[in-house]
Amino acid sequence: MTILTNTVTPFPAPSRLAGDTESAPAGAAQVQDAMIEVRHIDKTFAAKQRKAAPVRILDDVSLSIADREFVSILGASGCGKSTLLRIVAGLVPHDGGEVRVAGQRVTRPVPEIGVVFQTSNMLPWLTVRQNLLLGTSLRKIPKAKSEPRVAALLEMLGLAQFADHHPHELSGGMRQRASIGQILALEPKVLLMDEPFGALDALTRDNLNVELLRIWQEHRQTVLLVTHSIEEAVFLSDRVIVMSARPGKVQQEVVIDLPRPRSPQTIKQHPRYAGYVAQLSQLMGVY
């Protein structure tokens, strides 16, 4: 796998929902060559208080994500978005159904899946470079392979000058870039992201969205992103999945037919951009 290139080529057109153009109701179709397959997933959490009823979080959730597709999940707080992401990652067990990644059933964390959370998981006593190399060491990847890979990632992420700094010496945006680098160093086939920029200010978040698109276009992983931001979902995604209120179900799937590669200066002026934002806002009950 080539870690760093100097040019960004247009990404192949995403797989479309069978028989659809712009949107489809829940469960309407499958995508071809799915990298992630979620089939009839249910999840109920036991009550924390003795006499309280169990809480049903997910109800018969099914979705498919094609290889190299970028898909975002939108939904109200508490609808089970993050729980679903953790189930796909093999971090949380489910009560019914199954999850497959690259055709293999997922019941625990596997090397093919990388997860980026909202908060950085870097170890504070290690430098940025050491944090990126830590996972490769645990995976027993030879240094002759991992060190050049990490050096290229640091350059691509704009962190080469901060490679020997510790996490507390970085800004919030830089820490999140380093967290993404930790995962990319392991070369996962699938990148799962749970509100990775949610705690950052709006300007930093917008800048990191651009960086994320650049990384995706260079590495071409399958990406599943959980977000509360409608604009972020439209800007980044090939397709947006809208979940209902708890218990979460797939309410609607909207194909984002905007050209790639994308930049804020051009894509947000595209005549279809505002339409997608309005459509998703209505589905989310914003207006």
The pLDDT tens digits of the residues spanning 204-214 come to 888 888 888 88
Residue with tokens 């209902």: 244
Residue with tokens 């055709």: 103
- Are the C-beta atoms of 185 and 177 separated by less than 8 Å? no
CA distance 57 to 64: 20
CA distance 45 to 275: 37
Which DSSP category does 191 fall into? E
Mean pLDDT of 100-117: 92
**Cα within 13 Å of Cα(280), Cβ side:** 31
Element (H, E) at 86: helix 81-89
> Per-residue pLDDT for 245 more than 60?
yes
CA distance 104 to 112: 10
pLDDT of residue 8: 28
Q: How confident is the model at residue 130 (pLDDT cuts 50, 70, 90)?
A: very high
Q: How confident is the model at residue 20 (pLDDT cuts 50, 70, 90)?
A: very low
CA distance 96 to 230: 30
CA distance 228 to 214: 21
Residue with tokens 């093999």: 90
CA distance 96 to 50: 24
Q: How confident is the model at residue 30 (pLDDT cuts 50, 70, 90)?
A: low
Mean pLDDT of 171-188: 91
Sheet containing 96-101: order of strands: 55-66, 34-45, 96-101, 104-105
- Are the C-beta atoms of 252 and 63 separated by less than 8 Å? no
Q: Give the residue, 259 or 14, on which the prediction is more confident.
A: 259
pLDDT tens column, 147-177? 999 999 999 888 999 999 999 999 988 998 8
Residue type, 75: G
- Are the C-beta atoms of 130 and 138 separated by less than 8 Å? no
Match domain 23-112+190-283 to its CATH number in 1.10.540.10, 3.40.50.20, 3.20.20.450, 3.40.50.300.
Answer: 3.40.50.300
pLDDT of residue 25: 54
CA distance 175 to 132: 12
DSSP string, 145-169: HHHHHHHHHHHHTT-GGGTTS-GGG
pLDDT of residue 7: 27
The rounded mean pLDDT for the chain is: 86
Which DSSP category does 16 fall into? P
> Per-residue pLDDT for 4 more than 70?
no
Among the residue ranges 116-125, 244-253, 276-285, the one predicted with the least confidence is 116-125
Mean pLDDT of 10-21: 36
Q: How confident is the model at residue 5 (pLDDT cuts 50, 70, 90)?
A: very low
Q: Give the residue, 60 or 199, on which the prediction is more confident.
A: 60
Radius of gyration of the chain (CA): 19
For the chain, give every domain's residue range: 23-112+190-283, 122-187
Enter the tokens of residue 113.
């899946």
Angle of the 172-184 helix axis to the 202-219 helix axis, nearest 10: 20
pLDDT of residue 287: 61
> Per-residue pLDDT for 70 more than 50?
yes
- SS3 call for 108: coil
CA distance 233 to 276: 10
